[in-house]
Structure 1
Amino acid sequence: MTEAGTHEFTVASTRDIHIGRVVGLRLDQVVMPGGNTAAREVVEHLGAVAIAALDDDGNVVLIHQYRHPLGRRIWELPAGLIDGPGEDPVDAAKRELVEEVGLVAEDWSVLVDVAASPGFTDEVVRVFLATGLSSVEREVLGDEEADLVAKRVPLVEAVRMALAGEIVNGAAIAGVLAAQAVDSGTAAPRQADAPWVDRPTRFAARQQAQAGGAH
């Protein structure tokens, strides 16, 4: 009998079920304690960033955006996908802040890394704290972004919204609560380039390999 907590969960076999534009789905046969294997469906993801942008008046920038799987608009932080394995997460966050809400920030730090649903996906979102805000021209790049509404909300009100169930996006909830902890002096953020142990890489590597094979 394997001692509890020491088993190494190796993959006996794997096969692709679906490879899409943003995610992939694979089926792994994973070796369990005792030697049997169990099927595990894994959704591969590019990884994403989100930004808790705080202004000098103590407001955080929220966006109201349609999310088709839920079938409604929800409140979130500005966020977006990392373009590829070579993109720096801070650069991705800076890009998304400009594209979604027309802002740039002088100071950047890491609040939290959020594993969206580690029971079936490797998606992890890195949430940044951005301060020293100033406005720039926003370039609308897609139909969904054209419908997006941005609003500055007092940070304490955003915390209330999260606890009241008015914000349900996981990264937004974590980011708002973490921003309050930092703003109140309860905790300190990490450096903007802090190590990101669980950054998703597999799906981005697939895309890179496919792009290379197309030439």
Structure 2
Amino acid sequence: MFKRSTEPVGGFRTSPLRKVHDWAAWSLVRGDFVDPDGEQFTRTFVQSPGAVGVVALRDGDDRRVVLVRQYRPTLHAMTLEIPAGMRDQEGEDPLVTAKRELREEVGLEADHWLRLGLQISAVGITDSTVEIFLARSLREVPHDRHGPEERHMTIEELPFARAIEMVIDGDIQDAKTVTGLLLTERLLRGS
């Protein structure tokens, strides 16, 4: 989650945000702001607890990456993504959330974890962030999917190089997945 302050930033000032509407883990909030020239303006956006994404990489010569193909109502389309989930349990460490999501969505646990970075999802409409992790030394475990999208998702394993090609070709477009795969590629090139 992005840490928010009411301290001036770059000459801009803000007042505390007001909740307009709450639903599930999100809130619609409105804030009043003053620019460096003294002009006042109001903005409304979605406040989110954030999410996690996991690049699950199998060891071996072709370094297969575990992805999920799932229905996304916002797009009314199937998307190919890294396993991910909301940070909807207050105070839970992002790594704990990542481990739970990997187990729930694809039935895997990992012996080795590395935080790859933080992505700001859609800065113009939400404060939502995604903490992205790399999981290695994977092993199968029972999993329990939640909700209609997860129950109908499929698990796809691709050679890591093929997944990178799909990013470059525009076949993988989900932002957290693109970020996670490219950060992993950079890490692997250095090793």
User: TM-score of the superposition, structure 2-length normalised?
Assistant: 0.90
Bigger shift: 7-16 or 50-59?
7-16
Alignment partner, residue 62 of structure 1: 67
Question: Measured at CA, do residues 103 and 13 of structure 1 come closer, stay the same or move farther in structure 2, by a change above 3 Å?
Answer: closer
Contact 1:105 1:132 in 2 (8 A): yes
Q: Deviations over 1:111-145 (max 9, x none)?
A: 12110011221100011000000001111222211
CA contact (8 A) 2:72 2:149 kept: no
Q: Secondary structure at the match of 1:74?
A: strand
Partner residue of 1:21?
24
In structure 2, what is the Cα distance between the partners aligned to 1:87 and 1:7? 32
- Paired letter, 1:138: H
Structure 2: 5+ residue stretches without partners: 1-8
> Contact 1:63 / 1:148 at 8 angstroms: preserved in 2?
yes
Q: Which residue of 2 aligns with 1:126?
A: 131
**Structure 1 residues 15 and 83 mapped into 2: Cα distance closer, same or farther (>3 Å)?**
closer
Which whole-Å CA distance do the structure 2 matches of 1:128 and 1:14 have between them? 31
What residue is the counterpart of 2:6 in the other structure? none
1:210 paired residue number: none
Give the match's secondary structure for 1:138. coil
Question: Aligned pairs, how many?
Answer: 182
2:107 maps to 102
Instruction: Map 1:38-187 to 2 at 5 A.
Output: 38-57=41-60, 58-185=63-190
| Alignment counterpart, residue 36 of structure 2, candidates 20, 28, 33 | 33
Counterparts of 1:141 and 1:34 in 2: how far apart (Å)? 49
Does structure 1 conserve the Cα–Cα contact (< 8 Å) formed by 2:34 and 2:40? yes
Q: CA deviation at 1:13?
A: 6.0
Judge which range, 72-81 or 139-148, deviates more. 139-148
Query: After the TM superposition, which of the residue ranges 8-17 and 166-175 deviates more from structure 2?
Result: 8-17
Aligned twin of 1:207 = none
CA distance in 1: counterparts of 2:48 and 2:15, whole angstroms? 22
1:9 aligns with 2:19: no
Runs of 4+ aligned structure 1 residues displaced above 4 Å come to: none
Give the alignment's TM-score, normalised by structure 1: 0.80
TM-superposed CA distance for 1:8, in Å, is 3.2
Question: Structure 1, unaligned stretches of length 5 or more?
Answer: 1-5, 187-215
